Amino acid sequence: MKVGLIGFAGAGKSTLYRAAARGQAKGTVTAVPVPDPRFDAIVEQVKPKKITPATVILDDDLESIHGGSTKLFSQRFLDSARQADLLLHVVRAFESDMVAYHETVDPLRDQQLVDEEMILSDLQIVENRLERLTKSMNVKSPGHPDYLEKQLFEKVRPVLEDGRPLRAIDLDEDQLTITRNYQFLTAKPTVVAFNVGEGEAAQPSERLQSRIGDLADHGAQAFAVCAEIEEEVAQLDPADQPEFLASLGIEEPAANKVIRAVYDALGLITFFTAGENETRAWALRRGSSALKAAGTIHTDIAKGFIRAEIVHYADYAEAGSLHNAYHSGKMHLEGKEYVVQDGDLIHIRNKS
């Protein structure tokens, strides 16, 4: 899953990128392991030869947005943003005489400006497509792609005209497929990180907290973070990080907060495969079947699917090992349609 970082120049998106990458960033694209104490516990017990955590790809290669112009988004920015699975909008909420900015610092204004520009970008696509569809003879044929597009675009146009993002409305699976084909920016999951100063790192202002709540009501996850402090934290030995964060009143490092918010916004869960050769954590869309999980591991495993051996993580933790869980009756066999639960340990029986 690719996360594109966006924001005005000077908002600190590259600083947050380096912090979220735990100081391991190389270049502008980094695969960041998903923090998960359950995976750590499984690895400690199994002691496999190879360890592969789930990862999220952070992309800081998107062009910064430059304020003071009538057109905020360049074509290069739009092309890159549309390729991302999720947009992480970093918004400046800190004062600094050392970092130039396009305007007075107003995080609510800046966040709203970018949202409005994305809505206008999507509205332009919808209006252009509707104009072309009026010339199609197929728009009167139910079931034809042109007919389905016209029905959808006539539904979403007033939503965009009202200044609301597409992710705020309910769409069925066919409609979602169409929106993905057009790569609408406001249909993408979005996480907003308000980059605050050190004084607000532990307790952001009431105004900012209110906006964070409003964004949640419109389908966007949001939080406050001090990227400058977090970049320093990322350079520390992991054993020293909790004490340093506690001294500032911060509960967890930005890497955990960012990746968890991304995971939740993408609707992902984690399942595990535990073996002596390799123990691995896998990202999977919430609500996916055991067959989908098998295909995530390997397409050949999905093709030869027979049954899935499932052990819930809580049962595994209580038993102390997969061996104990199996012998205490905690393993159950499931078919292709079983809905995978977050934390399931899975072994696929297949025709090899």
Percent of all residues in the chain with a pLDDT value above 70, rounded to a whole number: 99
What is the Cβ-side half-sphere exposure of residue 336, based on CA atoms within 13 angstroms?
10
Return the amino acid letter for 264: D
Q: Are 245 and 227 in contact (CB under 8 A)?
A: no
| 66 pLDDT higher than 90 | no
| 293 pLDDT higher than 70 | yes
Q: What is the pLDDT of residues 76-85, one digit of tens each?
A: 999 999 999 9
Q: What is the pLDDT of residues 232-290, one digit of tens each?
A: 888 888 888 888 888 888 878 878 888 889 998 999 999 999 999 999 999 999 999 99
At 69 the pLDDT is: 63
Has this prediction a pTM greater than 0.85?
yes
User: Is the four-CA dihedral 102, 209, 261, 166 of positive or negative sign?
Assistant: negative
- The side-by-side arrangement of strands in the sheet containing 50-52 is 50-52, 278-285, 268-274, 345-350, 305-311, 332-334
Q: CA angle, 114 as apex, 112 and 120 as ends, to 5°?
A: 100
Mean pLDDT highest for which of 147-151, 223-227, 276-280? 276-280
Mean pLDDT within 173-198: 91
Q: What is the DSSP letter of 115?
A: H
Q: Would you state the structure tokens that stand for residue 184, as one six-digit string? A: 């609408």
Q: Are 275 and 256 in contact (CB under 8 A)?
A: no
| 218 pLDDT higher than 80 | no
Mean pLDDT within 162-185: 90
Calculate the alpha carbon distances from 284 to 54, 229, 334 in Å: 10, 32, 17
Q: What is the pLDDT of residues 12-62, one digit of tens each?
A: 999 999 999 887 888 999 999 998 999 999 999 999 999 999 999 999 999
Return the amino acid letter for 106: D
Q: Would you state the structure tokens that stand for residue 280, as one six-digit string? A: 């691995």
Mean pLDDT within 89-111: 89
**If pLDDT is split at 50, 70 and 90, which confidence band does 4 have?**
very high
Q: Which domains does the chain have, with CATH numbers?
A: 2-265 (3.40.50.300), 287-350 (3.10.20.30)
Looking at per-residue confidence, does 102 or 152 come out higher? 152
